[in-house]
Amino acid sequence: MAKIYHGSCLCDSVQFTMTGEPFTYFVCHCKNCQKSSGSAFMANAFFKPEQVVITKGKEHVKVYIDAKTKSGEVVPRSFCSSCGSSLFLGNEEKLKIVASGTVEEEVDWVPRRESFAECKRQWIEGIKTNPKRRSKL
> Does any domain span residue 131?
no
> Does any domain span residue 130?
no
Q: What is the pLDDT, as a whole number, of residue 47?
A: 94
d(CA 120, CA 124): 7
Q: Is the pLDDT of residue 135 over 50?
A: no
Contact, 43 vs 101, CB < 8 A? yes
> Does any domain span residue 127?
no
> Does any domain span residue 11?
yes
Query: Mean of the per-residue pLDDT values for the chain?
Result: 86
pLDDT in tens, 73-96: 888 999 999 999 999 998 777 789
> Does any domain span residue 126?
no
Q: What is the pLDDT, as a whole number, of residue 129?
A: 64
Q: Is the pLDDT of residue 137 over 50?
A: no
d(CA 99, CA 38): 12
> Does any domain span residue 132?
no
Supply the range of the domain harboring residue 37.
Answer: 4-119
* Cα separation values, 100 from 9, 18, 64, 120, 130, Å: 11, 11, 19, 18, 17
> Does any domain span residue 93?
yes
d(CA 88, CA 52): 10
> Does any domain span residue 100?
yes
Number of domains in the chain: 1
pLDDT in tens, 36-69: 888 878 899 999 999 999 999 999 999 999 888 8
Residue 31 belongs to domain with CATH number: 2.170.150.70
